[in-house]
Amino acid sequence: MALKIYNTASRQKEDFAPQNPPVVTMYNCGPTVYDFFHIGNARNFVVVDTVRRYLRHRGFQVRFAQNFTDIDDKIIRRASETGEAWDALAQRFIGEYFKAADALGIERADIHPRATDHIPQMITLAERLIARGSAYERGGDVYYRVRSFNGYGELSGRDINDLLEGARVEVGEQKDDPLDFALWKASKPGEPSWPSPWGPGRPGWHIECSAMCMSHLGETIDIHSGGSDLVFPHHENERAQSMGATGKPFVSYWLHNGFLTINTEKMSKSLGNFSTINEALEKFPAAAVRFYLLSAHYRHPLDYSLEALEEAQSAVGRLRDAVVTAEKLFGSRQADATPAASDEIAGIDTAFTKAMDDDFNTQKAIGVIFEAVSILNEKRQQLACATDGGGGAAAAMAAAGLIGLIRRMLGILGLDALIFTQADASESAKLADQLIGLLIRARTLARENKQFKISDFIRDELDAIGIRLQDHPSGTIWLRNESKE
Ligand SMILES: [Zn+2]
């Protein structure tokens, strides 16, 4: 079975064949860091993280870069609104990106290049393009000469003559052709700038990604991804710049995820303004948000609504209940040791791989997981009905194998840790808090009844396990003892 990936450039599914297997080079356009990221961006990050996990599961060694656009008009504008330094603002939202991404189980990239760390590479790239006649300088700006590149428009399927109709020359621009776009912009007074052969200025957005991508992953990479809103002009221009400079292919597979559609009427009514990922994560567990983002095929539109997230939350709850109950009944650890021998388990495994091999169809893959869960529930009932001996033991073996498989499949989708480990950790913390509160009330009760032996016993035993009690006029609080290491 071959893994197939839909390539935006060819508009069809293609067999996946990286240049240097088992290595796969992969670049995703990261956030412009001027605000919390939107739930639509979260879809891109989660989809790409899942693709990366699946490629790894299929035996590839993925070298993955995702940039931060930390210099941009939006950043400069927002900083002047808030009175914050532009670079401090960018730094703050890089931190916010990692917080939310970590919460969603999005693994850190191998490299997170920042645009402002790659200004020399961008200047070099612009110089190469000028040397080849693909770019020119006008009044401190550098422009890409679109007509110098024959393949312009191929990625997005646009005709250069149609593009000309919508093209404009903005005030202050000195382009030779309205189609041309800026590689380098002379800086206006008060704006951040870097020295260049053309005077102080800053890079255009498109050249940032070309330079970061090629300097970390090479001149031809395997997969370049992003939201479908980036196909034109961002990726079209990235492709033109990179191929214009190197004369080599830039990307083998262009992968773009679909839009998140929002019914605006519904949004104002029931969603309030929770369109940033942080607002979604305040209302829903991360597992539910990630599950929801993977519940449709990545290329299809996904409708964003409170109901959809609630549905995802209840689906995750059913999944979790089924697995946790079965683990308690059948034992979880034995699951790893049980070879996936039965035809039933092999069949599920194959169906999951088939779904994911078909252009990462997570919607189908999730369906396969739920089929496995319903089989698991059947085994549980068989066990409940089985009298001692043979039937019960066989059901228990099969169930243990199934549990292991379900958790492996969830792991490939990045859901296992979110559903089990993290939820368990926060539940355990809550439970511990409640139990200590209960002991404090029992101690207070003992003291009120002058049963000091009991109250001292509770205090000392808590201290022995690292919990220190402090009595205040308003009541007793508990603190963790300082670590003794
Ligand atoms: Zn980009």
Distance 229 CA to ligand 1 centre (A): 11
Question: 235 alpha carbon to ligand 1 midpoint, in Å?
Answer: 7
- Within 10 angstroms of residue 411's Cβ, the number of other Cβ atoms is 16
Distance 72 CA to ligand 1 centre (A): 12
Q: What's the 353 CA to ligand 1 centre distance in angstroms?
A: 30
Distance (Å) from CA 132 to ligand 1 centroid: 23
pLDDT at 389 over 70: no
- Is the pLDDT assigned to residue 42 strictly greater than 60? yes
Cα 187 to averaged position of ligand 1 atoms, centre (Å)? 21
* pLDDT value at residue 135: 98
Summarize pLDDT for 309-358 with one digit per residue, the tens. 999 999 999 999 999 888 888 765 454 444 546 888 999 999 999 999 99
Q: Distance between CA atoms of 348 and 345, rounded to whole angstroms?
A: 5
| Range in 59-73, 78-92, 337-351, 431-445 with the lowest mean pLDDT | 337-351
More confident residue, 238 or 466: 238
Torsion of Cα atoms, 453 then 454 then 456 then 461, to 10°: 130
Ligand 1 center to 171 CA (angstroms): 25
Kindly state the tokens that stand for 470: 């402090």
**Domain 262-414: assigned CATH number:** 1.20.120.640
SS3 for 476?
Answer: strand
Helix 452-464 and helix 423-448, axial crossing angle in degrees, nearest 10 = 150
Q: From the CA of 214, how far away is ligand 1's center (Å)?
A: 12
Under a CB-based contact definition with an 8 Å cutoff, are residues 321 and 370 in contact?
no
The domain spans of the chain are 4-257, 262-414, 433-480
Domain 4-257, CATH number (from 1.10.760.10, 3.40.50.620, 3.20.20.70, 3.40.350.10): 3.40.50.620
Q: How, if at all, do strands 221-227 and 61-66 pair?
A: unpaired
Q: At residue 25, does pLDDT exceed 70?
A: yes
CA–centroid distance, 338 to ligand 1, in Å, is 45
Contact 64, 221 (CB under 8 A): no
What is the largest distance, in Å, between two alpha-carbon atoms of the chain? Answer: 93
Mean pLDDT value of segment 381-390: 68
Q: What is the pLDDT of residues 106-147, one digit of tens each?
A: 999 999 999 999 999 999 999 999 999 999 999 999 999 999
Angle between helices 286-293 and 306-330 (to 10 degrees): 110
Name the residues around ion ligand 1, CB cutoff 5 A: 29, 209
Predicted TM-score (pTM) of the model is 0.87
Angle (CA) 99 321 349, round 5°: 85
**At residue 339, what are phi and psi to the nearest 5 degrees?**
-65, 140
